Homo-oligomer: A and B are copies of this chain.
């Protein structure tokens, strides 16, 4: 199922319809953009494999990472409102996405209540995800932010069938800092401190969580 980007809970017929709508897939190489802020909005995307960051450019050429999307996540929901994308999506590693033309998808939503419900759930969850990120940026100290990111990633990898305790950060320290609203130096220092306290093993981008309870307690 996963490789078709099809969510569970649909009838065979609905699944068939969805497959018709998912017209194609696209490979995105590490560093390449799936879409850019300002691009005309045509399609939604679902990540088949790999990982993709979304960034918003702020005046002065500075960019902020606003989202971190893994396999199975939807991408492009921000474009519906104004018919053009409001952020830029860049692959953190060689990735592959399903392309879901929005007009066909919209039509399908009218035909199938389950599919409509799926879309609404996807969008609602995206809203909740961002609300959570708002609380991270709005009220946590740097070490709490980093701990929360590690635990979040661990949970998301687990749900995808990967190891809970060991994973590769696909982002640089700078991108992590941008996502967490802190500087790259603070990210680095915090990871070092976590390592010194025996909470994690960090070898560059490879992270192993040694003490989940300890991380949660921060």
Contacts and interface: CB of A to CB of B under 8 A. Distances in A.
Interface in A161-194: 178-181
Contacts of A179: 138
Interface stretch (A25-33, A106-114, A149-157): A106-114
A178 B137 CA distance: 11
A123 B116 CA distance: 13
Counting contact residues on chain A (CB < 8 A from B), the size range is 35 or more
Contacts of A6: none
A49 interface: no
Interface string A110-129: 11010011011111111110
A168 B142 CA distance: 34
Interface of A: 56, 58, 62, 64, 66-67, 77-82, 86-87, 106, 109-111, 113, 116-117, 119-128, 130-135, 137-139, 178-181
